Amino acid sequence: MKEYLEKSMSFSEYDALIERLVEEGKTTGPKQSEILADFTKLNFQRMNRIAKTAELGKDPATAVRSNEREQKWLIITEAWCGDAAQNIPIIEKLASESDIIETRYILRDENSELIDRFLTFGARAIPKVIALDAETMEILWTWGARPKAAQKKFFEMKENGDEKPAIMEEMQRWYNEDKGRSVQHEFSELLRGVGGRKTAGAGA
């Protein structure tokens, strides 16, 4: 996994990349189209809004601060992805509660061999978070591409034969109502599951 971390970006670099692409009317990845560029613009606005308005619950914030294992969260994403825009600001807020958790971003379509190791129900779904022990590069847990309740609703609508626009609209409604609570809860459980030793130099 070290090679992918070396190729990855910080959140500020990822954010700046999207901003530049929006100005150019483009998106990430080899496939360029007006609709994907429009999604990218919408997602950039959505990420900024969620980053400003979302609030962490007391329990998730405590779970992050209580983590004693230095981690790197490698996040596979693309700028046009709606689920990424909804979840990444919450993931960033969670990570920012800890001095020993670092987020790194890598693009899916430039690294197909990586996403193919972390498929979600057989699909290259994003965002995909791979939590690594910062010292050993052990994979501690993975998450994605959306909270379990959202995934359940997505599959139910697909099985019912709903069209893609209707599914996207309903997923947007779900995220608006959830306000990031589900992803916070799921990350809290994952962090508590790995525990870990205190990182050298960390406070008591």
Strands 128-133 and 71-77 turn out to be: antiparallel
pLDDT at 195: 62
Does the residue 151 lie in any domain? no
Does the residue 200 lie in any domain? no
- Full domain range(s) for residue 102: 2-146+180-194
Does the residue 172 lie in any domain? no
* DSSP tag of 137: -
Handedness of CA 159, 164, 169, 172 (dihedral sign): positive
**Separation CA 132–CA 114 (nearest Å):** 14
Q: Which residue has the tokens 């992805």?
A: 81
Among 119, 123, 139, smallest CA distance to 131 is for 139
Handedness of CA 167, 29, 108, 79 (dihedral sign): negative
**Separation CA 89–CA 112 (nearest Å):** 24
pLDDT tens digit at each of 204 positions of the chain: 999 999 999 999 999 999 999 999 999 999 999 999 999 999 999 999 999 999 999 999 999 999 999 999 999 999 999 999 999 999 999 999 999 999 999 999 999 999 999 999 999 999 999 999 999 999 999 999 999 999 999 999 999 999 999 999 999 999 999 999 999 999 999 999 886 443 333 332
Does the residue 106 lie in any domain? yes
**Separation CA 28–CA 192 (nearest Å):** 34
Backbone angles phi and psi of 105, in degrees to 5 = -120, 140
Does the residue 62 lie in any domain? yes
Q: Which residue has the tokens 């608006």?
A: 176
For residue 121, what is the domain's CATH number?
3.40.30.10
Does the residue 57 lie in any domain? yes
pLDDT at 98: 96
Does the residue 162 lie in any domain? no
